[in-house]
A and B are shown apart, each in its own frame.
Chain A
């Protein structure tokens, strides 16, 4: 029997394969995954897909300004989604905006994950005073809504790409810390950790090689949910004019830019960036929902 046949044999069940099969059970979640892949592709390949570089002033023509969708531009290509006040193709602007939004979301998620995971693991593993200090800080922070924490930090820090990433990390680390601690507390009491201790392995090795991998499943769910949150929060703050600077046009800034034209019926300047934002967030949430169901032992058949 060849290798290919062996892996296709339904009798052999690895945890990963069972996970993939469980996940694929929901068509909605698979559709969400596919849409998210498209969004990610559009963001990564923005320079190749866009009809124009929306931030190269040489390519913009003010005469093309505020054209409704499907209009032909002076350059010859079609504004599928219309153009903004400076003659910028909205489709191109959305592709580039997705880049910024997803980039900020991903970077803040990675930062928050690293900090939250470390804090949560340390709290659960060492217990005692470390735990009570870390968890008290987490509790206090989680008693304030995310937008308020972000607002305080941005009022204090001012505007800027790194500042908003920092603010998002500060908003989100606590969610990761709490989740990791909860799982790690349960895992810590299991026999394999005791066995590792009996082998006199170092703390670092036990925490990162043995404890951490077993805490990952619930964490994956939190990551998906929090990335979606981070993207939405960044868009909101940028819309309010206290998030990203104008030099980094995320979807939120595009929407804000179209707000003043909305009242005169030129809906497309803020409508389509909003749709892009919505599609991104919904697709991530659909994937997250299915992950939660698959990874939740309580709902397992």
Chain B
């Protein structure tokens, strides 16, 4: 177990290093931010002064090492646009994104798991077919377009829900969130549903497939032969086995939900870090792009590590094959 964790940690460190290289040198290549920040009439001396102020006059590799050194101290550069530390900017926006992602994931589990289990339990019933068709549709519907349609129906035509922003937030147990006010929940409803759509479909699929496969297994027949009621077999024995892939996926999906929040946040003008990164790419705000990508990759590495460890705790077969490999 320790060897497994140490090896994963080393691998994670390597990925983070390679990512910082790609991102830093790549982003450096896409454009000259100085062109944006200085009026075209500025003379050479003014340009040089601005370059020096932003640290752009040094060679790329020197800038990289300065960046790396500062990064270890938690400083990922200052935003050109907001003139504040990039990391502060991103951390300010992070709670809004996390709130959206967690709400979407919860919605996915609450709706997806029962529907998927039912569809797998009675695969030939009309209800199961309708659920499956719905999940195919959920997979196929482009998230951003569903978002637009939600706005069209609920904000423009019906006027029930607000279409932009996060609404009023309240602080409860030290967490400031839209979840604690009615206005906040009204703002959260559409973006969360929009982001959850894909998760619901995914969990339906997983639960259905798990149910179908497990119902054919010998242990189910054995448990039935032993005289256990069907309800117990499904909700205790089969449920546990279905849960293994679903726990992994939910863990991994937290990361991907945060990544996909980029789309939902842009549509609903949700003030999270996803909207920030899109705005920053369009404005060529280099430090924010680099900082965002480093932070999100770091988050992913942590999430993946935790999921891997949880997985090996849940399923000892994984641990054994890892130790051998």
Chain A residues with CB under 8 Å of chain B are 136, 140, 143-145, 147-148, 151-152, 154-158, 228, 232, 235-236, 239-242, 252, 255, 259, 262-263, 265, 267, 270-271, 274, 277-278, 281-282, 285-286, 289
Selected A-B contacts with CB under 8 Å, 27 pairs = A136-B11, A140-B15, A143-B300, A144-B297, A144-B300, A152-B293, A155-B26, A155-B277, A155-B281, A156-B22, A156-B26, A157-B30, A228-B140, A236-B142, A236-B143, A240-B266, A240-B278, A255-B144, A255-B145, A262-B152, A263-B151, A270-B145, A270-B148, A271-B152, A281-B142, A286-B136, A289-B136
Chain B nearest CB from A150 CB (Å) reads 10
Name A148's closest neighbour in chain B (CB-CB). B259
Chain A nearest CB from B90 CB (Å) reads 14
A242 and B278 contacting across the interface, CB-CB below 8 Å = yes
Most B CB atoms within 10 A — which of A158, A235, A252? A158
Chain A nearest CB from B150 CB (Å) reads 11
Partner of A155, one of B27, B259, B263: B27
A274–B267 Cα distance when bound, in Å, is 15
A274 and B304 contacting across the interface, CB-CB below 8 Å = no
Contact with A along B121-140 (1 / 0, CB 8 A): 00000000000000011011
B252 within 8 A of A: yes
B114 within 8 A of A: no
Which chain A residues lie closer than 8 Å to B156 at the CB level? 262-263, 265, 267
Which chain B residues lie closer than 8 Å to A143 at the CB level? 252, 300, 304
A143–B302 Cα distance when bound, in Å, is 11
Partner of B136, one of A155, A156, A265, A285: A285
A278 and B26 contacting across the interface, CB-CB below 8 Å = no
A8–B121 Cα distance when bound, in Å, is 40
B149 and A285 contacting across the interface, CB-CB below 8 Å = no
Most A CB atoms within 10 A — which of B145, B289, B297? B145
Which chain B residues lie closer than 8 Å to A232 at the CB level? 140, 142
A170–B267 Cα distance when bound, in Å, is 26
A145-B260, A265-B157 given; name 19 further pairs at CB < 8 Å. A140-B11, A144-B300, A148-B296, A156-B22, A228-B140, A235-B142, A235-B145, A240-B144, A255-B144, A259-B148, A262-B152, A267-B156, A270-B145, A270-B148, A278-B140, A278-B141, A282-B136, A282-B137, A286-B136
Name A283's closest neighbour in chain B (CB-CB). B140
A240–B27 Cα distance when bound, in Å, is 18
B148 and A147 contacting across the interface, CB-CB below 8 Å = no
A265–B255 Cα distance when bound, in Å, is 35
A155–B304 Cα distance when bound, in Å, is 23
Chain B nearest CB from A183 CB (Å) reads 19
Partner of A240, one of B11, B263, B289: B263
Chain A nearest CB from B188 CB (Å) reads 20
Dominant secondary structure at the A interface: helix
Which chain B residues lie closer than 8 Å to A271 at the CB level? 149, 152
A259–B149 Cα distance when bound, in Å, is 10
Name A299's closest neighbour in chain B (CB-CB). B212
Most B CB atoms within 10 A — which of A240, A265, A282, A286? A240
Contact with A along B153-171 (1 / 0, CB 8 A): 0011100000100000000
B29 within 8 A of A: yes
Dominant secondary structure at the B interface: helix
A145–B144 Cα distance when bound, in Å, is 17
A129–B114 Cα distance when bound, in Å, is 44
A145–B195 Cα distance when bound, in Å, is 14
Which chain A residues lie closer than 8 Å to B296 at the CB level? 148
A147–B289 Cα distance when bound, in Å, is 15
A156–B177 Cα distance when bound, in Å, is 33
A157 and B148 contacting across the interface, CB-CB below 8 Å = no
Which chain B residues lie closer than 8 Å to A147 at the CB level? 256, 259-260, 262-263
Which chain A residues lie closer than 8 Å to B69 at the CB level? none
B245 within 8 A of A: no
B31 within 8 A of A: yes
A174–B304 Cα distance when bound, in Å, is 17
B282 within 8 A of A: yes
Chain B nearest CB from A266 CB (Å) reads 10
Chain A nearest CB from B57 CB (Å) reads 22
Partner of A262, one of B148, B259, B277: B148
A242–B263 Cα distance when bound, in Å, is 12
Name B12's closest neighbour in chain A (CB-CB). A140
Which chain B residues lie closer than 8 Å to A145 at the CB level? 255-256, 259-260
Which chain A residues lie closer than 8 Å to B145 at the CB level? 235, 255, 270, 274, 277-278
Name B253's closest neighbour in chain A (CB-CB). A145
Most B CB atoms within 10 A — which of A144, A232, A271, A277? A144
B23 within 8 A of A: yes
Contact with A along B290-309 (1 / 0, CB 8 A): 00010011001000100000
Name A232's closest neighbour in chain B (CB-CB). B142
